[in-house]
Amino acid sequence: LDADEFRRQGRLVVDFIADYYARIDEYPVRPAVAPGFLARQLPETAPARPEPDALAAALRDVRDLILPGVTHWQSPRHFAHFAATASNVGALGEALAAGLNINPFTWAASPAATELEVVVTDWLGKALHLPESLLFSGGGGGTLLGTSCEAMLCTIVAARDRKLAEVGEERMGDLVVYCSDQTHFSFQKAARIAGIRRGNCREIPTSMEAGFTLSPKALAAAVRADEAAGRVPLFLCATVGTTPTAAVDPVRELCAAVAGRGVWVHVDAAYAGAASVCPELRHAVAGVERVDSFSTNPHKWLLANMDCCALWVRRPAALTAALGTDHDVILKDPSAQAAQEGGAVVDYKDWQVALSRRFRALKLWLVLRCHGVEGLRGLVRAHVRMAAAFEAMVRTDARFEVPVPRQFALVCFRLRAAAVLVVGEKRARDGDDEVVTAGNELNRRLLEAVNATGRVYMSSAVVGGTYILRCAIGNSLTEERHVREAWSVVQEQATAILAAARR
């Protein structure tokens, strides 16, 4: 790395990003491109020799070829999925970590990086009002992984090994894990990777009436049935803020339902964990002091650019017993051995699947310092306020309904079945299969039309057989005017679709 050249190139990149954000609102949120559009425009092989002024040329290609083909996740009019909130310091923290390019797999491999992660996960845990028992200061501890899926995998593996040590390795095929039919699919994937039999993942059904939350009663019944059949209940994944509707599983009651059975309770709060920075939203995690582990993605709603998933565990020893490795002499640093063996330092390689790891703590530390906990509260509150405004607008239009209560900054909405009845000029009752199918199809077409405008981008889910549109507010650049525009686009497209359906 040549320092002067790095400075010159760095300015090009920073200017490029700044220009992008200055114009981001001008791009259609989602590109209208066909598969293969980019590959056709690029050479088939890499250049054999460096191109002249390669970085500048490549940046031109990013502008002319790549940007027209990306979905602009940071657009203030991106309301799909859950947001990936970005910030200046989040981006610069990433740049700083990439620039330093260190690999803190053990304390000795980079003491300050490891210690910063210890400090910053405790900082964040305190900001989210997590119980002491999940923090280093209370005997637990946190780490920064890439994704929630990794957090699930690591905790299932920890729970599995702890349980097998108790009941015997031969019981592996009897281990059962529990979730709801709203739990993110990554849980089942993690369970499969951890060796849980496919048939031993209990996906407990939820209902619209119960707001798609996991019922403690149903959970207790499932656990009892498994025990009666000689199986071994292992792990419960409760979700605070499910992906389809941001439903909140009742953590306290779920913990009570499995209490005394040695079931590891994990809370997946990938999206909504961030809301706990606000005292008025903290009720969503009531009971969290009883769980074994908790994870949330600061890259979803806390201004830490991709990727950043914070995982806290009550007993780090369970994690390190399952994931720790102790036989690689190359990793042994004689000067740190005493501290390692005495447990005075954290070796994060033993908290995760891989050996190598990124220095994620740096950007999270910058975010917390530059925005402060109050700044994060302001961000969450602004998004929740805008979502409430969007919900209010939906409720004023009789053609629409809000089938489940708004949670946090996610509004789920749809054209009413009654609108379908008008279209079909039929006398059918709500709930008739024909009406449900027609309603779903109409709402599917509505979303397609809304997104085809390029003016906004929303996503959908099917819950309890009902197709819903999702408007998830969470981008740093989103303002009330964007939310109003989004609603206008939905209304315009609904009017056009209903008119076309009547013809």
Q: Which residue is nearest to ligand PLP (CB)?
A: 147
- Measured from the CB atom, is 184 or 231 closer to ligand PLP? 184
Q: Which of 82, 123, 264, 359 binds ligand PLP (CB under 6 A)?
A: 82
Pairing of strands 309-313, 264-268: unpaired
Residue 191 sits in the site that holds ligand PLP (CB under 6 A): no
Phi first, then psi: give them for residue 327, nearest 5 degrees: -115, 5
Query: CB within 8 A of 186, min separation 6: which ones?
Result: 147, 148, 149, 152
End-to-end CA distance of the chain: 66
- Measured from the CB atom, is 180 or 243 closer to ligand PLP? 243
Least distance to ligand PLP from the beta carbon of 163, Å?
23
- Measured from the CB atom, is 110 or 459 closer to ligand PLP? 459
Residue 243 sits in the site that holds ligand PLP (CB under 6 A): yes
Q: Which of 160, 163, 184, 360 binds ligand PLP (CB under 6 A)?
A: 184
Residue 384 sits in the site that holds ligand PLP (CB under 6 A): no
Identify any residues that bridge with 414 across adjacent strands, giving them in sequence order: 401
- Measured from the CB atom, is 109 or 404 closer to ligand PLP? 404
Give the separation between CA 269 and CA 273, rounded to whole angstroms.
5
List, as own/partner pairs, every contact residues 61-69 make where C-beta atoms lie below 8 angstroms and the sequence separation is at least 24, other chains included: 62/16, 63/16, 65/38, 65/41, 66/38, 67/20, 67/27, 68/27, 68/31, 68/33, 69/31, 69/33, 69/37, 69/38
> What would the two tokens of residue 367 be?
């975010």
Give the separation between CA 394 and CA 372, rounded to whole angstroms.
34
Stretch that binds ligand PLP, among 194-202, 267-275, 426-434, 485-493 (CB under 6 A): 267-275
Burial of residue 344 (number of CB atoms within 10 Å: 0-12, 13-18, 19+):
exposed
Query: CB within 8 A of 484, min separation 6: which ones?
Result: 389, 393
Least distance to ligand PLP from the beta carbon of 194, Å?
15
- Measured from the CB atom, is 269 or 456 closer to ligand PLP? 269
Interacting residues with ligand PLP between 125 and 164 (CB under 6 A): 147-149
- Measured from the CB atom, is 242 or 352 closer to ligand PLP? 242
Interacting residues with ligand PLP between 297 and 356 (CB under 6 A): 297, 309
Stretch (H or E) spanning 296: strand 293-296
Give the interface size with ligand PLP as a residue count (CB under 6 A): 15
Distances (CA, A) of 312 to 289, 409, 410: 12, 24, 25
Residue 270 sits in the site that holds ligand PLP (CB under 6 A): yes
- For residue 337, the tally of other CB atoms under 10 A from its CB is 11
- Measured from the CB atom, is 121 or 186 closer to ligand PLP? 186
Residue 429, amino acid: R
Q: Which of 87, 133, 200, 239 binds ligand PLP (CB under 6 A)?
A: 239
Stretch that binds ligand PLP, among 24-32, 97-105, 239-247, 477-485 (CB under 6 A): 239-247
Residue 83 sits in the site that holds ligand PLP (CB under 6 A): no
- Measured from the CB atom, is 215 or 242 closer to ligand PLP? 242
Residues lying near ligand PLP in the complex (CB under 6 A) are found at 82, 147-149, 184, 186, 239, 241-243, 268, 270-271, 297, 309
